[in-house]
A and B are shown apart, each in its own frame.
Chain A
Amino acid sequence: MIKLEHIHKSFRVAKRKEGLGSAFRALFHREYQIIPALRDISFEIAAGEIVGYIGPNGSGKSTTIKIMSGILRPDSGNCLINGQIPWQNRKHYVGQIGVVFGQRSQLWWDVPVIDSFSLLQDIYDIPDKAYAKTLSELTATLDLAEIIQLPARQLSLGQRMRCEIAASLLHDPRILFLDEPTIGLDAVSKLAVREFIQKQNQEKGTTIILTTHDMQDIEALASRILLIGKGQILFDGRYADLKKQAKTGLSAEEMVAELYREYQI
């Protein structure tokens, strides 16, 4: 279903030393630094799997998600999702996936959430009947009934995130990419989001890839994890196996910190 082979991606970043002198020099001559974001990333994910994608800040998680969702194109390598190359026919491809960027919002700031939803209905060409059905399901499972009439700006972060997730599932995608869906949420909201993700995966069979820094997310959700560091896949396997390797008595958090140190990432 999802197959990445030898994906490389680097960014060119303008750099300069500190101070007025170098700032002035940079006006005439800019120096660039090539920063490799992904180095030879390969993995496969089967339909219906739920995979936790973990790694420290700046390790390339979000870049991978953006490549898989057709926003960025890699420098080299193959990526085949649902039989399609994401960036090749972007417009067609993105109709079949759902993406949540936890740090951004797709809801319109000053209109009721439901209006953002109905705009999405038109954007994705969802027939009225299917839309009504999905919406009522999502409203029930994500407990949206009371907040859907409010403008997005008046929602708490937890409420907003539930709406964001609903927004990315209205067109009933087979694949869902969640980029830090629990960032900044309180315990109750986190649990609600986790519970929902699990349900969506089990009942609808949606393939889910989620990135997170919260190891409890991984513990609760993902049977399989992908660990990325400095742009390379360092571990690909079952969470339970990783746990066995680790020293006993460590919490999930400590275990991962240990792992990051071990791999020097």
Chain B
Amino acid sequence: MKKYLTYFKIRLIRGLQYRVAAYAGMATQFAWGFMEIFAFSAFYRSNPSAFPMEFSALSSYIWLQQAFLALYMLWFLDMEILEQISSGNIAYEMIRPIALYPLWFLKNLSLRISKAILRCFPILLVTFFLPKPYGLALPSSLTTLLLFLASAALSLMVVVAFTMFVYIFSFYTLNSAGIRLVILSATELLTGAVIPLPFFPEKIRMILELLPFAAMQNIPFRIYSGNLMGPVIVQALLLQVFWAIVLIALGSWWLNKILRYIIIQGG
């Protein structure tokens, strides 16, 4: 166990070094967040009754999304792993007494967490002081906060478990650019990264809410903002647990299967 934690720690420390990237990222996230809120407020003014969320809940949703972008964006991958696969340096990874799936899982976790730590606090702080209903509201109760944290952790598991499949596919394609592009365009919409899932038409939404993509950022942000309440939350958390287990089990089975028939590139 210690060896996995060492990897986690080192990667975390390394990730925390990139401060300039963090400043640039934050600027982008503020700009993007404001843009989204302005666009939604225009819709809201034209017809408030057609709005499926309260406006302040929507603002909280958007600011959380911007603050924790690094945790939940599906296209955010560990380039080092992709490079190892395409160059054949994975040979060195395979002569270590270490299991590859948990190792890569932890590498991705540490990468995402280190990026998020650098970015989230200033965004959370600033948006907390924005005038209502455009800013980040406090959660309605301590229970809500705790449920949010639990759900946020589960989301991270589901997200990383999903991205593990990108690494797995790149064993077949070697260049992951194509898959990354497809994932970016197809899943942004399904996770609720472009518009929150409640804004989808009823019938489509009912299907979307069962997919693994709905078990990512959609649930914790809606719990925090009060859009999900009561027994629905339990259901949502169960959906997250379900997808985390299914994706991790399938991913580690698949990766192990590939490693049996692996070809090392470059002699």
CB distance from A152 to the nearest CB of B (A): 13
Interface string of B91-119 (1 = CB under 8 A from A): 11011111100000000000000000000
Choose, from A39-47, A70-78, A216-224, A251-259, the stretch at the interface: A70-78
Q: Is the CB of A91 within 8 A of B95?
A: no
Interface string of B72-96 (1 = CB under 8 A from A): 0000000000000001110110111
B266 close to A (CB within 8 Å): yes
Q: Is the CB of B264 within 8 A of A66?
A: yes
B2 close to A (CB within 8 Å): yes
B260 close to A (CB within 8 Å): yes
B45 close to A (CB within 8 Å): no
Q: Is the CB of B91 within 8 A of A71?
A: yes
Asked, given contacts A122-B3, A122-B6, A125-B2, whether A69 binds B95 with beta carbons under 8 Å apart, the answer is yes
Q: Is the CB of B92 within 8 A of A70?
A: no
B38 close to A (CB within 8 Å): no
Other-chain contact of B94, A11, A90, A92 (Cβ < 8 Å):
A90
Asked, given contacts A73-B260, A119-B6, A122-B6, whether A101 binds B92 with beta carbons under 8 Å apart, the answer is yes
Interface string of A103-127 (1 = CB under 8 A from B): 1111000010001000100111100
B7 close to A (CB within 8 Å): yes
Asked, given contacts A101-B91, A104-B89, A125-B2, whether A95 binds B264 with beta carbons under 8 Å apart, the answer is no
A residues in contact with B10, CB < 8 Å: 115, 119
B231 close to A (CB within 8 Å): no
Other-chain contact of A71, B2, B87, B94 (Cβ < 8 Å):
B94
| A73 vs B264: C-alpha distance when bound (angstroms) | 12
| A103 vs B88: C-alpha distance when bound (angstroms) | 11
B residues in contact with A90, CB < 8 Å: 94
Q: List 7 A-B contacts (CB under 8 A).
A: A66-B91, A94-B97, A95-B97, A103-B267, A104-B88, A122-B6, A124-B96
Which residues between 244 and 265 of chain B lie within 8 Å of chain A, taking CB atoms? 260-264
Please give the number of chain A residues whose Cβ is less than 8 angstroms from any Cβ of chain B in the complex: 28
B residues in contact with A124, CB < 8 Å: 96-97
A62 close to B (CB within 8 Å): yes
A97 close to B (CB within 8 Å): yes
- Beyond known contacts A95-B97, A101-B91, A104-B91: 4 more, CB 8 A cutoff: A73-B261, A90-B94, A104-B89, A125-B2
A210 close to B (CB within 8 Å): no
A residues in contact with B7, CB < 8 Å: 119
A54 close to B (CB within 8 Å): no
Q: Which residue of A lies closest to B98 (CB)?
A: A123
CB distance from B9 to the nearest CB of A (A): 9
A99 close to B (CB within 8 Å): yes
Q: Which residue of B lies closest to A62 (CB)?
A: B267
B residues in contact with A106, CB < 8 Å: 92
Candidate in B6, B10, B88, B96 with the most chain A CB atoms within 10 angstroms: B96
Q: Is the CB of A122 within 8 A of B97?
A: no
| A94 vs B3: C-alpha distance when bound (angstroms) | 15
| A70 vs B92: C-alpha distance when bound (angstroms) | 11
Q: Is the CB of B6 within 8 A of A104?
A: no
B residues in contact with A115, CB < 8 Å: 10
Asked, given contacts A119-B10, A122-B2, A123-B3, whether A104 binds B97 with beta carbons under 8 Å apart, the answer is no
A residues in contact with B6, CB < 8 Å: 119, 122-123
| A101 vs B92: C-alpha distance when bound (angstroms) | 8
Q: Which residue of B lies closest to A104 (CB)?
A: B89
CB distance from A172 to the nearest CB of B (A): 14
Q: Is the CB of B95 within 8 A of A97?
A: yes
A residues in contact with B263, CB < 8 Å: 11
CB distance from A64 to the nearest CB of B (A): 12
Q: Which residue of B lies closest to A73 (CB)?
A: B260
B residues in contact with A95, CB < 8 Å: 97
B residues in contact with A94, CB < 8 Å: 94-97
| A105 vs B264: C-alpha distance when bound (angstroms) | 15
| A180 vs B57: C-alpha distance when bound (angstroms) | 62
CB distance from B56 to the nearest CB of A (A): 45
Q: Is the CB of A91 within 8 A of B264?
A: no
Which residues between 1 and 22 of chain B lie within 8 Å of chain A, taking CB atoms? 2-3, 6-7, 10, 14
Q: Is the CB of A91 within 8 A of B97?
A: yes
A-B pairs, 5 with minimum CB distance:
A95-B97, A122-B6, A106-B92, A71-B94, A123-B3
Q: Is the CB of A71 within 8 A of B95?
A: yes
| A164 vs B138: C-alpha distance when bound (angstroms) | 53
| A106 vs B95: C-alpha distance when bound (angstroms) | 11
| A87 vs B94: C-alpha distance when bound (angstroms) | 10
CB distance from B14 to the nearest CB of A (A): 8
Q: Which residue of B lies closest to A164 (CB)?
A: B92
Interface string of A46-75 (1 = CB under 8 A from B): 000000000000000010001001111100
Which residues between 201 and 254 of chain B lie within 8 Å of chain A, taking CB atoms? none
